[in-house]
Structure 1
Amino acid sequence: MVSLLDHLRRRLEREGMLSVADYMGEALTHPVGGYYMRGDPFGAPGPAGGDFITAPEISQMFGELIGVWCADSWLRLGQPAPCALVELGPGRGTLMADALRATRQVPGFHDALDIHLVEVSPALRERQRESLGAHEITWLDNAGQIPEGPLLLIANEFFDALPVRQFEQTAEGWAERVVVLGPDDALAFALAAPSAANRPLIPAALRDAPEGTLVEVCPAALNIAAFLGHRLARQPGAALIVDYGPASPAPGPTLQALRHHRHHEVLDAPGSADLTAHVDFASLAQAAASAGCLAHGPVPQGDFLGALGIELRAAQLAAAAPRAAEAIGAARKRLTDPAEMGGLFKTLALTSPGPPFDPGAPAGFEAPAPQSPPPLSPDSQDR
């Protein structure tokens, strides 16, 4: 069997160069050697751990409050039935399992739901099936397969894994950074020839950046945002995007590889490490809004979870399990502290135009944000 590295070398021998986005796509989703196609990458540090951990794996509170957000949005939309509940990149299914468990007491909510998971990894689909065995699930290969009708959509740490292109400002204009074959057939970065066609791809605020500036853009993310914007402009619904990155376009390379919770060389052993890059929330919001929906935020994750009642939920869980109180408090801090995930991670909501979200805003995006107990299932306990 040809290794992913050998496959990439053969492509480079034929094509001469690959965009960084093409390289990312191969490294993450190649059918044989792609990182996400090989197994379960999630887990805490340790001998049996994975390469990274996401918010739903840190604490059930995260998924529960996302469930609260979905239920609240469904109520505001007039309790449509049926209603598609869709998650993009659902990992192990932990977030969806917590969201559904926490909202099962909302009258009519679960009966109205038609649950869809957009997942390309066969291994992760199996994990999701284990986590959500009590629910009827439909798996989709891409967002374009989402059925018509009212929509609630969740995308947690999905956009950061979409392939990015990198461009560098040179004396002759913007040049794309590419992957080539270097000495000893090793993969290496290089610059393609500058082209005037590259300039329109750069966010307007960064187009006149000084020479040597590197900028990342994610066409796949913008296409999905525009697709969601168009969909929500035509049919009622709301989408919640949670990821890490700046609120406005920023220069600099953010593409990184993670393996066993440590930084890994991006071009070393492709397919063996996770590849991610910061999300440009302002560009996502603009792409979606230009397609006809409303964009709310971005709001720091800590503020969003605080508005939904994470302090109260943490207190409930600690009271129910006093021995776990310290761990529950540490998880809450990690999710909400501005110096930890609470500041780096942002939330962006996309909604249908007009009432109930214009005037008004989805839960967690109002100003000032409400402080009220989350309507969680009373039997939800710390897992």
Structure 2
Amino acid sequence: MKSNVLRTAQDGLRCLSRRPITHNSKIVCQSYRSFISTPTCKERKWTTPLAKQLTEAINTTGPIPLASYMRMCLTSDTGGYYTGAIEEGRDQFGRKGDFITSPEISQIFGELVGIWFVAEWLSQGRPKQGVELIEVGPGRGTLMDDMLRTMRNFKDMASSIATVYMVEASAELRTAQKNLLCGEDAVMTESKIGWHSTSKYSGLPVVWTDSIKAIPQDPSKTPFIVAHEFFDALPIHAFQVVEVAPTQQSQTTNSDSSTQSSDSSATSTTPTRQWREMVVSPTPRGTTHADLGTPKSEQHEPVPEFQLTLSPSVTRHAQYVPESSPRYRALKSMPGALIEVCPDASLYASDFASRIGGSSAHSHLNAKPRPSGAALILDYGPADTIPTNSLRGIRRHRRVSPFADPGLVDLSADVDFGAVAEAATRASGGVECHGPVDQAFFLEAMGIRQRAEMLARSLGSAGAGVEDKKKELERSWKRLVDRGPGGMGKVYKVLAILPENGGRRRPVGFGGDVSAQ
């Protein structure tokens, strides 16, 4: 997931601002080309080493796709948010960090996710061996720790687990996960696949990889995959529909592209609509918050070092990415339409699906005698629409500009659950998708209230601080299912990828119940 700056600047994926782009072509083109007059790195003081490196890349290649910017900010070797070490002792998670996730809010969250996989194990015939637990983007390891602690209460299920895989690019987070899952004194060894240690729960082998592709796809295995707040951190492309006059069409096509879309025909005599890509360039000196349209809530900050603009020509990404799905193509008839597309999300969804149901494209390479396993994706985003203007920056629990202090700000964007489901079912005919459903619906169906009451009773009725602990327990679980405006129970969604069964069985948490085979 780590990449060289210049290579990333040329072939990265996508991102987006939270504000509509001005349609005035003069303003767009002037803003796009302003990076040419940006002061050199020697003349300008940058907030982070990554800011300087990004500027050097842009000065070499021109404005970069939003995806390239987002990828560098999160995973660059030069002070990426998850892979760098700009601020000594920085912890991204928890109340002292930048944000807090559901597993950190309450242990009940991880327990119920663990129970969901136990229910799937039961429904799929209680396989006695070959179960793989895979988590992508495990954070500090809290979710997997709660899952393993819960699963050990189901001895047959626990004994069927062969390996726990943790897909993590950050060396610092791998260490934190090892300390939690295996113990601080546990040894971590390295191999061609990744890093290995032994879980404190029943001595299970734990393997860390920096890519899911490093995990072998064995058709005999039963993979149980969880992705919590992982897809929202994948780089996104952003595109806008613009109307191009006949005299401009021959001038706006990317000259280094090997093919030209029909929309860019030089002989056209009528206005046509084209997809244009959002790109990032340094903010020129003298730019104000008003120039950038910065929300008032963020105007206490210095003007962001980078800005979002609209490419004046058709980039290679703009030629094929918005044409990759009928969902996107349908919006091309709407002038000014904005979309966010995450190819990386489709790649991960396809990987999950091929592990569970076998691969449609290469069935002879990954032929599963019978689909098995499950993937549970928990993240935020709309249930049935394509995200737009959703890129956000978070630092110290506040919304900040995603274009300021690169490497120190967490970047994320809404997940397109429709695209995830589409990619999964396209990749394998052996899977089907359920959801997305609201997190509140899922957790309540899994018994969050009942589990909270059980924990409250276990605290007893007397003793120092018991009432405070009970109040905190109640506050925590109710926060997870809050259906108010912006509440986690409504904003967060849950999607499941399961073995195809003709829709005859709905899984637990999605309106169904356990039906053991």
Same fold (TM over 0.5): yes
2:500 to 326, 329, 353: 353
**Conservation of the 8 A alpha-carbon contact between 2:232 and 2:379:** yes
Bigger Rg, structure 1 or 2: 2
1:124 to 173, 181, 186: 173
Separation in structure 1 between the aligned mates of residue 442 and residue 65 of structure 2, nearest angstrom:
36
Gaps of 5+ in 2: 1-47, 183-199, 245-273, 287-304, 359-367, 460-465
2:455 to 317, 321, 341: 317
Q: Find out whether 1:76 has 2:123 as its counterpart.
A: yes
**Conservation of the 8 A alpha-carbon contact between 1:206 and 1:251:** no
- What's the counterpart of residue 279 of structure 2? 178
- What's the counterpart of residue 267 of structure 2? none
Q: Find out whether 1:163 has 2:264 as its counterpart.
A: no
Shift of 1:111: 2.0
Separation in structure 2 between the aligned mates of residue 257 and residue 105 of structure 1, nearest angstrom:
40
C-alpha change, 1:346 and 1:209, in structure 2 (3 Å) is farther
**Conservation of the 8 A alpha-carbon contact between 2:322 and 2:341:** no
C-alpha change, 1:42 and 1:206, in structure 2 (3 Å) is farther
2:423 to 282, 287, 298: 287
Separation in structure 1 between the aligned mates of residue 373 and residue 396 of structure 2, nearest angstrom:
38
**Conservation of the 8 A alpha-carbon contact between 2:322 and 2:329:** no
Q: Find out whether 1:227 has 2:351 as its counterpart.
A: yes
- What's the counterpart of residue 151 of structure 1? 223
Separation in structure 1 between the aligned mates of residue 403 and residue 76 of structure 2, nearest angstrom:
15
Gaps of 5+ in 1: 371-383
What are the superposed Cα offsets for residues 319-354 of structure 1, whole Å, 9 maximum, x if unpaired? 112522211111111101212111110000001223
- What's the counterpart of residue 81 of structure 2? 35
**Conservation of the 8 A alpha-carbon contact between 1:206 and 1:249:** no
- What's the counterpart of residue 261 of structure 1? 397
Separation in structure 1 between the aligned mates of residue 405 and residue 64 of structure 2, nearest angstrom:
16
- Match of 1:68, as an amino acid? I
**Conservation of the 8 A alpha-carbon contact between 1:213 and 1:252:** no
What are the superposed Cα offsets for residues 283-332 of structure 1, whole Å, 9 maximum, x if unpaired? 11111011221101111111101111101001001111252221111111
Q: With the length of structure 1 as denominator, give the TM-score of the two structures.
A: 0.90
- What's the counterpart of residue 302 of structure 1? 440
Separation in structure 1 between the aligned mates of residue 347 and residue 488 of structure 2, nearest angstrom:
26
Using the TM superposition, name which of 196-205 and 174-183 deviates more: 196-205
What are the superposed Cα offsets for residues 224-260 of structure 1, whole Å, 9 maximum, x if unpaired? 1122122221241100000000011235300000000
C-alpha change, 1:210 and 1:296, in structure 2 (3 Å) is same
Shift of 1:205: 7.1
Separation in structure 1 between the aligned mates of residue 400 and residue 324 of structure 2, nearest angstrom:
28
- What's the counterpart of residue 380 of structure 1? none
- Match of 1:200, as an amino acid? E
- What's the counterpart of residue 377 of structure 2? 241
Shift of 1:216: 0.9
Separation in structure 2 between the aligned mates of residue 275 and residue 178 of structure 1, nearest angstrom:
16
RMSD, aligned α-carbons: 1.9
Shift of 1:13: 1.2
Q: Find out whether 1:142 has 2:191 as its counterpart.
A: no
Separation in structure 2 between the aligned mates of residue 157 and residue 92 of structure 1, nearest angstrom:
12
Separation in structure 2 between the aligned mates of residue 181 and residue 261 of structure 1, nearest angstrom:
26
Using the TM superposition, name which of 298-307 and 139-148 deviates more: 139-148
- What's the counterpart of residue 98 of structure 1? 146
Separation in structure 2 between the aligned mates of residue 182 and residue 206 of structure 1, nearest angstrom:
34
Separation in structure 1 between the aligned mates of residue 414 and residue 387 of structure 2, nearest angstrom:
11
Separation in structure 2 between the aligned mates of residue 275 and residue 201 of structure 1, nearest angstrom:
25
Report how many residues are paired.
Answer: 362
Separation in structure 1 between the aligned mates of residue 381 and residue 499 of structure 2, nearest angstrom:
24
**Conservation of the 8 A alpha-carbon contact between 2:275 and 2:332:** no
Using the TM superposition, name which of 219-228 and 185-194 deviates more: 185-194
Separation in structure 2 between the aligned mates of residue 102 and residue 335 of structure 1, nearest angstrom:
19
What are the superposed Cα offsets for residues 71-112 of structure 1, whole Å, 9 maximum, x if unpaired? 111122223212110011111111111111122120222222
Q: With the length of structure 2 as denominator, give the TM-score of the two structures.
A: 0.67
- Match of 1:110, as an amino acid? A
1:324-335 superposed matches below 5 A = 324-335=469-480
C-alpha change, 1:312 and 1:181, in structure 2 (3 Å) is same
What are the superposed Cα offsets for residues 251-289 of structure 1, whole Å, 9 maximum, x if unpaired? 530000000001111111100010000001111111101
Shift of 1:209: 5.8
What are the superposed Cα offsets for residues 41-75 of structure 1, whole Å, 9 maximum, x if unpaired? 0011xxxx000000000000000000101111112
Separation in structure 2 between the aligned mates of residue 259 and residue 215 of structure 1, nearest angstrom:
25
- Match of 1:295, as an amino acid? C
Identity rate, percent: 38
Shift of 1:154: 0.5
